[in-house]
Structure 1
């Protein structure tokens, strides 16, 4: 059964960075998850579900980059007027991300399918020195959180 490639698309152009990490190993994944949840608790009380979804996607994408990409791996939580963007970069330009077929799920391979379920978009694009995989999440329309926050 063929692999299903991700959509080739750059992330939104007018984002600003909220959080960022250099990821050296799996121990860093817990740090990222906790920091995202703390960030949302402090800046967007009541958005626990969104925080958990973004944190899970961050660890799935970063874990994939650690397993299948080349170091260094970086993770950024970005924001624009309409969405949050979780962006993971690694230095392997030759290995495009793809969803494993359903038959290959016995030993793993579910990460991008989980991300597909939780994120509004899941895309990738080549960079000057590797690749970037990103997922977006809509900003809640109930007025939570300032639109002008920046780091």
Structure 2
């Protein structure tokens, strides 16, 4: 399934135009899923906080450390207790970036964005001709679990293709739900 990018969408740091929910047109009917992963652009109000460009898997270590530092920097002091959200985000970012490095075309672009209540990870590769798919038949130690982990750990997960890139994004809460309940 392919998406036609919005003609009036603004390019991001990668030169990629991002369609809005209102302007995204599907080329195959009203379908909104690909292997159970919802086709959806990023939340409209997401503001970019950090960007990492990866060419090889050896850069994943720096991504993990930099992502933790960025999350700490961009977490409001009043809501500084994120519990395990940073660890979950690092795991999902690593898995999605590894998938992009392994199955997509370089460079892999990882972005940290923020809405009012969520952090959003956006991982892009430069192969918009393929769709992300869940693997159901591999053994547990056989890899291919990045999308499953993203769906299990994130509030919401989606993907879209625009111009020369394919993006998979995952949203995480800024405020720890346990902290709000107390």
Tell me the TM-score normalised to structure 2 length: 0.70
Which aligned pairs between 1:1-151 and structure 2 lie closer than 5 A? 4-44=35-75, 45-101=80-136, 103-105=137-139, 106-140=141-175
- Mean alpha-carbon deviation: is it higher for 128-137 or for 46-55? 46-55
Aligned 8 A contact 1:40 1:48 in 2: no
Q: CA deviation at 1:25?
A: 0.8
RMSD (Å) for aligned C-alpha atoms:
2.0
Q: CA deviation at 1:127?
A: 0.8
Structure 1 unaligned regions, length at least 5: 145-151
Question: How many pairs align?
Answer: 140
Match of 1:148 in 2: none
Higher Cα Rg: structure 1 or 2? 2
Aligned 8 A contact 1:86 1:134 in 2: yes
Structure 1 runs of 4+ with >4 Å offset:
none
Question: Aligned partners of 1:79 and 1:43: how far apart in 2?
Answer: 9
Tell me the TM-score normalised to structure 1 length: 0.84
Match of 2:9 in 1: none
Structure 2 unaligned regions, length at least 5: 1-33
